[in-house]
C-alpha cells in the first residue's frame, strides 16, 4: 500500500489512537507493526525537514538557525519559497507500507470516525 508522507502522518496519529483500543491479539500485533513502520517514516521525514531547514534557513554567526518564536527565519523570500517547495514535494512523496487492517478485524470495538478517516487506505473493507 502506497501512502504519501502526509497521509502517513495522519495514519500514524490514527494508529496511535487505535492502539489504545482493546482488540484481539493478532490485530494488536498488526497495529503495532503498522505503527512502527509509520513512526519510522515520520522520523525520516522529520530528519529531511530538519536538514532542509539547515540548508535554507537563516543562520547566525555561530551557524545556528535564527528563529522568532517558534518560526525559523529565512535569509530571503526566495529561500523561504525554495524550502516550501521542498517540503511540499517531501510530503507528497509516497512510501510503501506492507500492513493494512481489515474492518472485520476491529470487531465490535467502538472507534471514533477520526481514527477511520486517519487510517485512510490502510483500512480495508472485507470482500
pLDDT in tens, 8-18: 999 999 999 98
Long-range contact list for 4-8, CB < 8 A, 24+ apart? 4/91, 4/92, 4/93, 4/94, 4/95, 5/41, 5/45, 5/90, 5/91, 5/92, 5/93, 5/94, 5/95, 6/91, 6/92, 7/120, 7/121, 8/38, 8/41, 8/42, 8/45, 8/95, 8/97
pLDDT in tens, 49-70: 999 999 999 999 999 999 999 9
- What's the pTM value of the predicted model, to 2 decimals? 0.83
pLDDT in tens, 69-83: 999 999 999 999 999
Amino acid at each position: 500500500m502506497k501512502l504519501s508522507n502526509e497521509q502517513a502522518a495522519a495514519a500514524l496519529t490514527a494508529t496511535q489512537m487505535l492502539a489504545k483500543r482493546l482488540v484481539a491479539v493478532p490485530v494488536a500485533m498488526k497495529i503495532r507493526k503498522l505503527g512502527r513502520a509509520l513512526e519510522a517514516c515520520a522520523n525520516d521525514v522529520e530528519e529531511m525537514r530538519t536538514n532542509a531547514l539547515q540548508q535554507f534557513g537563516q543562520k547566525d554567526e555561530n551557524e545556528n538557525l535564527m528563529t522568532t518564536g517558534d518560526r525559523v527565519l529565512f535569509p530571503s523570500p526566495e529561500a523561504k519559497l525554495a524550502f516550501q517547495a521542498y517540503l511540499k514535494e517531501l510530503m507528497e512523496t509516497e512510501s510503501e507500507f506492507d500492513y493494512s487492517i481489515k474492518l472485520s478485524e476491529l470487531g465490535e470495538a467502538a472507534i471514533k470516525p477520526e481514527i477511520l478517516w486517519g487510517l485512510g487506505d490502510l483500512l480495508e473493507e472485507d470482500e
